[in-house]
Amino acid sequence: MKIKTFLIGGFCCLSLLTMKAQQVWTPDNGDGTFTNPLMWGDWPDPDVIRVGDDFYFVSTSMHYVPGSPVAKSKDLVNWEIVGYAVDRYDEDPRYDMKGGELYLNGSWANSIRHNKGKFYVAFCTPYGWGTETGHFSVCEAEKPEGPWMRTIFPEYLYDPGLFFDDDGKVYVVHGQHKLYVTELNEDVKSVKSKPIEIWNKGVDDARGSGKRAGMEGSHVYKINGMYYITCPAGGTEGWQVCLRSKNIYGPYESKVIIQDDTSYPVNGLHQGGMVQLKNGDWWFIIMQDRGPIGRVPYLLPVKWVDGWPVLGVEGKDAITYPKPTVGKNHKMKVPATTDEFDGKRLGLQWQWNHNPDNEKWSLRERPGYMRLKASKAIDLKNARNTLTQRVQGPNSTGTVELDLSGLKDGNIAGFGVFESPYAYVAVQQEGGKRKVVMCNDGKIIETPIENLTQDKIWIRARVTDKGFTARFYYSLDGAFFSPVGNVLNMGLGLPWTANRFALFNFSTTEEGVDGIADFNWFRFYGK
């Protein structure tokens, strides 16, 4: 292992154990209890299954590549990323940022199931935001690490809940407000029947406010001969509903199984899936919207009352619970963040903003560094090969060390927080001269150094959920950091997609194409 420094605040500390920089939020209290959320970052639209002694979790990832992250746990509390169901999107050149871009597309409302020795992940892809057209995909693999094979259906099955019945039939429950059942062929590669409508009415707010809302995000179960469909209603401030029937096609009756926003007012717990332990207990992973930091997953116990799954404690969230009973204690684990770029493969914590140009990045050309070669772009939003990972709450800090010796005129290379708006600190080279700039929402706010004469710079971004702000810093020695520019008020201009730490190198000129930025490491510090 390389000896490297990790940096916290204005102090420089030497350590062989560079992973100490990570300190990510963990729900495990170490005393047999856990405190929600499971992961204090953007893991939206969760679904969960158990295969033997292992639990698997899938999440929506929109346009980010690779897509549809799959995580694994032994106890439903401690999770690590093990793979992605989608390597890249090849159905439209705009995923390569050719002829435009496809932010907000990709994978929506993922569903995960296991049947006859295979894992399946299903999701939908809309053709543009707010449209009623798109397509549906099913990915299959023999193990969650992959390789995965994807089948793209011409049909658009919105927010699909994939379900394998015990008679061998395969169904998808899908739709928004109106819910439908569509049968697939047994090989799960094509549609067998036309959609049949099973629900076309809203569900009332359980608090008696008179608010009524339609449903989406379906997940399907068959328990003791009864079909159950769990769905969110009411959007960000909404609640979770369960439908049940003795027949997959209905008729269905409904019940609100949780309505609670006390842990993060006014945003309600809604959308997710449930899983049964070996001992017969049931648990539910459900999400809560926490604004620009993302939609975070919660773990709630399920108690069956009169044949209905009721979440939490009598339909309310207690926030802290005894851990699920799985037979033994397991080590604390969290999804990876910090990266020394020492490996031959990119860490699973990283996703590109669109399909990457694999000729323009490397971990091998300069071992121990993430090398990004510039492509031409007018700004960061239109730049390909922007490398991202989740910001996290309640506070998180990302720091990079950047070698600039390979830059060309026209290059803008740096580190920041990406969404819309975005902000960053970067080194911009023009006429053989480098300057340090802070950019916020496409505008240069400050240029603290007009002529940078050294080849290294350290850049830092700090994020908090208090007001959803990010602040930026730079250092010329890796020890003392100076604040720069103004505050980024993090937003959601790309709806339903949280803010992310972002490493980048793009060029505003043809002359700068293939200019090199070498990132020595990324280090995460949070709590």
DSSP tally for the chain: helices H, then strands E: 0, 41
Cβ-based neighbours of 167, under 8 Å, separated by 6 or more: none
Half-sphere exposure of 342 (CA within 13 A, CB side): 9
pLDDT tens profile 309-339: 999 999 999 999 999 999 999 999 999 999 9
pLDDT of residue 15: 33
Which residues neighbour 422 within 8 Å (Cβ) at sequence distance 6 or greater? 380, 381, 416, 441, 488, 502
Cα separation, 16 vs 129, whole angstroms: 47
> What CA–CA distances, in Å, run from 287 to 259, 290, 349, 358, 447?
12, 9, 20, 34, 41
Measured distance CA(463)–CA(490) in Å, rounded: 9
Q: Which pLDDT does position 129 carry in this prediction? A: 62
CATH T-level assignment (fold) for domain 25-322 = Tachylectin-2; Chain A (2.115.10)
Instruction: Report the pLDDT value the prediction gives residue 371, as an integer from 0 to 100.
Output: 98
Domain 351-526, CATH among 3.90.870.40, 1.10.260.40, 1.10.10.60, 2.60.120.200: 2.60.120.200
What pairing do the DSSP bridges indicate for beta strands 170-174 and 161-164?
antiparallel
- Taking the domains of the chain in order of start, what are their residue ranges? 25-322, 351-526
Give every residue of the chain whose pLDDT is below 50, as ranges: 1-20
Q: What is the pLDDT of residue 208?
A: 72
Q: What is the pLDDT of residue 202?
A: 82
Terminal Cα distance for the chain, rounded: 25
- Active site positions, annotated: 45, 216
